[in-house]
Chain A
């Protein structure tokens, strides 16, 4: 056993030949236990991605790598997690039976308050499946013979999936040719399937198959699935396709429309709030009016002498074709003139949503009037690394690098 594996000693592949690595290194219980467990089982059920670091070329130096997470280990972690969850529920005085993951998150943020800016660095308590990365199970047996017939393609899960889908397509086509030419296309279900859902993205597919794919692989996969959809497919195929679609939640349901209030005379009005950069604005829009706008007690022509700011105020009304039909009284503070104008625009658009029909609310949302366009800083490579080799550039590149990374303001 050791001989064929030793010949593969110094190869840097991180997945395929790891089994050999396990044998070479100080093999402990995990190997024996996992081998026994897997030989009893069938072809890969639990895929686990095994991580390695770059291996040195010297054979005598033991490679530093992570131990693979075995099934027992994961099972133990799951048990510990469940017990820990119950303890936590007890600590917080809640019912352990109905303690959900959101409650766990809330409890952890309460017990371990963290001021770290990076959210992923804060203390977290989640199910081990979300913490430990998925690993691929052993792909060959004791004799070194791989279990799966497509092992030597290199991406066995991907190709077997493609093979299955193509088999289904052939089946569907043969069924279609056999059946009399009646219109049995389940077009309705197909249409329903497609609306409100999207294909898996490449990263999600990689995660599902626990294999690295290239862009072309992904594109081919989607094409094949679409071909399957086009051919007459029965419920079995529909099920297969649905596995690879994710629903896109209708964002319109998430929007909150401010309620219509009535003032002393009974005239309806509504209040909207908006923010842009550091400016905060509140706008009170009346249902009936003549197009007067007062900002902080002043006429908007005086408050915003610049045309651009007044255009920003005009846009929500102009979009809904309601120029001159509403009176607005606003208060705004903070920020500069442009930020105040943007905040007011958002506040007015949100307030207007109370007076318009649902369709118009949806159009507003799609046009982006009710969303705050949050701009975030994004890290960019430092300027000196991008200097080309020109006359001036070379002189700069030999100089001291500029301290620190440069942040670039990017609109996400």
Chain B
């Protein structure tokens, strides 16, 4: 594993990292070529990178290039949203670089042109396994965070329907179940992301937690979140309250709301949780899922809903399933209908080259044949330009 020292090397010896690490002969030519290809405003470092860190400025000319998310932003915007392998890569390379790709650009275009007077539009990112749906979602979240939207990000809805250690009967509604641990973790991360909004938004109802504690009307939302974090038993209800309030107040114009859910097909699938008498629990009997489903309705305005379908964590779904109808089922499809589907597919040749360049720059590919044309062809064949497969493949080279 390469440590932080690589970062210094690549930053200091920007122009000649190749001779350092036995790279091929194509690389120096690429440095000569890039000024012609790029937009004249900036001078990007190499052919696979761009200096533009604001997602709002990303356009077609940046397609295939990596832009780096500043690490401070990473901590606030993505406390829990990034895929684990990407987190490892960030730690290894010392920088978080996302590739600008067509589906993400399309999504950003829609988000930029959102009419906040109309009901929230639902965008569904779908595609085969490992094509980059989650990272496209993260790109959109970064854009929205940069522009001051309130981010409601559920990193993986599948985690809420399986492997739950504690299931309590809900205090609010006896029919439903509470998941205190998941809810409190989520509230913590939500607080980190949207710290500045929590004091501005005021609740519009009085909420009584128990005999001694209650939240008055007009108090900031931060109090509800605190209550959920400290009193773990009430965490699920706190989440429900947060969702309700945000939905109600998003139309006020104080903030724009982005609801981002990864693995939304979990809301309408099956769970592996069981009651004490071993009978299975349906998703709507979980309070978190029930409240989240209400969020998915487009009966509010002042924001957007971006969703991702994911087979990877899903339960009882074929491993090759990726189409919305297969993963959502009839119920889910009807609930989300109408939505804007955005297909995320494997890398095209330009993106593939860019990814390999990025790895070569970070000295991640150490095999002497990696920078050659034959090496690239081999990698292309073995991974079939699938981003996840390529990443796993390169981990061993």
Contacts and interface: CB of A to CB of B under 8 A. Distances in A.
A311 B381 CA distance: 9
B337 interface: no
Given A301-B386, A301-B389, A317 B374 contact: no
A321 B393 CA distance: 20
Given A314-B378, A321-B374, A300 B393 contact: no
11 contacts: A298-B320, A299-B384, A301-B384, A301-B386, A307-B382, A307-B393, A314-B381, A318-B374, A318-B381, A323-B381, A324-B381
Contact of A291 (B128, B381, B386, B389): B381
A314 B380 contact: no
B147 interface: no
Interface string B363-397: 00000000000100110111110100100010000
A121 B331 CA distance: 70
B321 to A, nearest CB: 11
Interface string A296-308: 0011111000010
A262 to B, nearest CB: 26
Interface in B194-233: none
A168 interface: no
Contacts of B320: 298, 302
Contacts of A323: 374, 377-378, 380-381
Contacts of A313: 381
A318 B378 contact: yes
Interface residues of A, number: 16
B379 to A, nearest CB: 10
Contact of B377 (A300, A307, A310, A324): A324
A122 B276 CA distance: 70
A301 B386 CA distance: 9
Interface in A278-326: 291, 298-302, 307, 310-311, 313-314, 317-318, 321, 323-324
B99 to A, nearest CB: 19
B185 to A, nearest CB: 31
Contacts of A291: 380-381
B186 to A, nearest CB: 32
Contacts of B381: 291, 310, 313-314, 317-318, 323-324
A150 B61 CA distance: 94
B109 to A, nearest CB: 29
Contacts of B378: 314, 318, 323
B352 to A, nearest CB: 11
Contacts of A301: 383-384, 386, 389
B380 A324 contact: yes
Contacts of B380: 291, 323-324
Contacts of A300: 384
Contacts of B383: 301
Nearest to B129: A302
Contacts of B384: 299-301
Contacts of B382: 307, 310-311, 314
Nearest to B392: A307
Contacts of B374: 318, 321, 323
A136 to B, nearest CB: 63
A311 B320 CA distance: 21
For the complex of A and B, the 7 pairs showing the least CB-CB separation, nearest first, are A323-B377, A301-B384, A314-B381, A310-B382, A323-B381, A324-B377, A302-B320
Nearest to A314: B381
A307 B380 CA distance: 13
A272 B378 CA distance: 23
Contacts of B389: 301
Nearest to A303: B320
A311 B397 CA distance: 14
A69 to B, nearest CB: 64
A298 B320 CA distance: 10
Contacts of A317: 381
Interface string B150-183: 0000000000000000000000000000000000
Interface in B306-355: 320
A38 B389 CA distance: 81
Interface in A136-170: none
B86 to A, nearest CB: 20
A317 B386 CA distance: 20
B383 to A, nearest CB: 8
Contacts of A324: 377, 380-381
B65 to A, nearest CB: 24
A4 B320 CA distance: 90
A313 B320 CA distance: 21
Contacts of A298: 320
A318 B381 CA distance: 10
A299 B320 CA distance: 11
Most buried by A among B381, B386, B393: B381
A310 B378 CA distance: 11
Nearest to A322: B377
A323 B379 CA distance: 10
A330 to B, nearest CB: 15
A56 to B, nearest CB: 69
Nearest to B374: A321
Given A301-B389, A314-B378, A323-B380, 20 more contacts: A291-B380, A291-B381, A298-B320, A299-B384, A300-B384, A301-B384, A301-B386, A302-B128, A310-B382, A311-B382, A314-B381, A314-B382, A317-B381, A318-B378, A323-B374, A323-B377, A323-B378, A324-B377, A324-B380, A324-B381
